[in-house]
Structures are given as C-alpha cells and as structure tokens.
Amino acid sequence: MSTDLGTPSFLTPTEAEKAVLLAAPRGYCAGVDRAVITVEKALDLYGAPVYVRKQIVHNKHVVANLESRGAIFVEELDEVPQGETVVFSAHGVSPEVHRQAEERALKTIDATCPLVTKVHHEAKRFAADDYDILLIGHEGHEEVEGTAGEAPEHIQLVQSPADVPGIVVRDPARVAWLSQTTLSVDETLETVAAIRDRFPLLLDPPSDDICYATQNRQLAVKEIATDADLVIVVGSGNSSNSVRLVEVALEAGAKTSYRVDDASEIDEAWLVGVQKVSVTSGASVPEDLVDGVLAFLAERGFPDAKAVHSAEESLIFALPPELRRDLRKAQQGS
C-alpha cells in the first residue's frame, strides 16, 4: 500500500492535516502587568493583609493566586478596616471612592491603568467645557462607573446603537463621546457612527479610548480566526475584552468560538471533526493558562502551535508613585 509522500509515515493523513494557530500578541497587557505586580510588591513590602477594592484584574486565577498570598478582595471600602492599605484595581475608581478612602484614613495605592486614567482626564476636560458626554460602554462595569463618576451630571451611558434614539442632550452642537477601553473596536465605531448621524458636530476624544492591547488582540484573533473550525479564547467571564474576542472571532469567520477560564473547561465534543484550532487569550490572562490549553490539545493529537504575529508590544508602565516612594524608602533603610 503506497504512502502519500507529503505525509510522514508516522502520522495518519488526519493528524497531518491538523493545525493549531496561536495569536501573538495575547495575554497580559502593560496595565494588567502593572496592576498585578503592584499587589505583589505591596504584599512583600507591607505584609499581609493588603486589601484590594474589586478584582485587581478580571481573571479568577490571578485573584485566587493573590488571595493565597494574603490579598483580601472587597467590593466596597466599608469592608476595609480603618487605617489599612487598599489597592484600587486597574479599572479605575470615581472621585467619590477616593473621598471615602480619605474619610476612613486608608492608605491607598492606585493601580488604575494609565490608559483608563487618560479617559478620566478626557471626561473632566469635556465636562469643564460644558459638553454633554456620551460614554460608550457596558452598564455596571467598574471602568464605566469610575469614568462616569468624574462628571456624573454631564455623562450618560450608551451601550449600543439601539440606545442612540433615546439620547437627550442640552445642545446638539456640544456633544462629545468617550468609550470604555476594552470594547470591540468595530462595535464601538458602529455606535459612534449612529451617534454622529444624530449629532453631526459630535466631538471625538483626542486619541483612541480603546486601548492598544485590546485593539491588538482583536486584530490578532481576526488573523487566526479566518477558516478556523474552532477558536478558543482563554479568559474569565467578567473580562470584557475576553468576551469581545469570542465575538470578533466569529465575525472574522470562525465556525465556532468558546471562552474558557482554563483547559479544564474545554468540552471534548468541541474537537469532534475539527482540524484547525486557533487559540488566544484576553489581556488579563497569565501565559500558563494558555500553555495548559495547548497541552490539552497536544494530548488529543493536535500538533505544536504555530504563532501568528500581528503586532509587537513593548510598552511598560511604571508602578504607582505612592508604591515606588515606599519601595525607595525601604531600600534606603535596609
């Protein structure tokens, strides 16, 4: 019986046709890396417990790991004993939260992503110029609550084009828009277009609000999703950017796409009849969770993953200034 010269003799034709594509970039962005390191350094410097308001980043494995080291995650500041240290999450907080922390004499470390802080500054500037601000985002998301809190009398939430007909503004000539940093780029542009149809003089933010990492990960998943039988996105369910990656993959041509926290959540049935699997991860996902998915696939006959590079990322954010100051003092005193 002859063997296809294009197929190594130790592989069946089915195995030889299987492929795994791995998105690059994926996983941790600069803001997430900074936030996680902030909690780790705070624990090393001050000792446990260190309190964290909300999840430092939206990934249950990261949160569990920090909890095992002595971090205590709380929903609101009244759960933090007076005078203790509290870290604000990467998603940002409103001025009211800062005020509450001061009232309780809490030592605060602000791990808000600098790209989220940029949106806060834009909100304050537009409000100071007396614009009505349309904030595109998801109701209840910590980032949206923090941004809206900068100028609540000026900001109204717009979740999709369907909300646009109901928008009421004081002056159609003085309307600006901002957005949550972790949205789908395409969906956001669709919402902006609908708003501009109603308000042709709509003022844009001075630069993109959707962060570079969110955009890069969406571009990367588009590249690996075309003709993919299955796209696996590693990320937690409360991670907006991870959920968006599933949607972007399907829009780009993937036959199916699922989000999992880790390899244990992969359903074997997803792999039936599948040849091409693509893998990526959200911006708050440690690489070891992706490695676990790749190992799961390898155990089921899929080959080593081929990385598909669509962008290079080199951005690094400095740690929060209050933490840097205390670290310097500790080093000088040692």
CA distances from 216 to 13, 28, 71, 91, 143 (A): 35, 12, 31, 19, 20
Fill in the DSSP letter of residue 269. Answer: G
Is 63 within 8 Å of 73 (Cβ atoms)?
A: yes
Is 67 within 8 Å of 89 (Cβ atoms)?
A: no
In angstroms, the CA 279 to CA 177 distance is: 33
SS3 293: helix
As beta bridge partners, residue 85 has: 107
H/E stretch holding 99: helix 95-103
Is 143 labeled as catalytic in the residue annotation? yes
Q: Which of 23, 55, 90, 26 is nearest to 282 (CA)?
A: 26
For residue 200, what are its two tokens? 């042709």
SS3 283: coil
Q: Which listed residue (143, 150, 268, 312) is catalytic?
A: 143
The distance between the two most distant Cα atoms of the chain, rounded to a whole number of Å, is 82
For residue 4, what are its two tokens? 């296809």
In angstroms, the CA 192 to CA 92 distance is: 23
DSSP per-residue letters across 120-149: HHHHHHHHHTT-EEEEES-TT-HHHHHHHT
Name the one residue in this structure whose structure tokens are 């542009």: 189
Residues taking part in catalysis: 143
